[in-house]
Amino acid sequence: MHARSFRFDSSRLHGRLHGLFAAPRKPRTPALRALFGVVGVALLALLVFFGLFVGAAMLTAGLAWRLLARRGGQRPQARPDRIVDAEYRVVDRQRLPGTR
């Protein structure tokens, strides 16, 4: 008895969809493998560099925004129609029986 898995008619389906979902193969030539490795590391370094550059630019812009906003003068005052005037009292915490 053979153990088999259901393959959805692999003779037709395999030929059409195999190229879409197949993992890319490494080239067999050592020089080409090294070239792809160097290109991959260079691409990674480029992305990290631009990520750091964009992050630093965002921090700089945020600090400049904050300094210019503080320098602008007074902050807007609350309008009287939006102020809620009330009296408050502090309520003591209830003590549970048996606690100190």
**What is the pLDDT, as a whole number, of residue 85?**
79
23 is a domain residue: no
Q: Give the structural domain span for 59.
A: 32-69
Domain count along the chain:
1
9 is a domain residue: no
Mean pLDDT of 5-30: 66
More confident residue, 14 or 43: 43
**What is the pLDDT, as a whole number, of residue 19?**
63
C-alpha–C-alpha distance, residues 99 and 93, integer Å: 12
Please determine, for residue 7, whether its predicted confidence score (pLDDT) is greater than 60: no
More confident residue, 23 or 70: 70
21 is a domain residue: no
More confident residue, 72 or 56: 56
54 is a domain residue: yes
58 is a domain residue: yes
50 is a domain residue: yes
Mean pLDDT of 77-89: 74
Quick: pLDDT tens for 31-53: 999 999 999 999 999 999 999 99
More confident residue, 19 or 33: 33
10-41 burial: b if 16+ Cβ within 10 Å, else e = eeeeeeeeeeeeeeeeeeeeeeeeeeeeeeee
77 is a domain residue: no
Amino acid identity, position 6: F
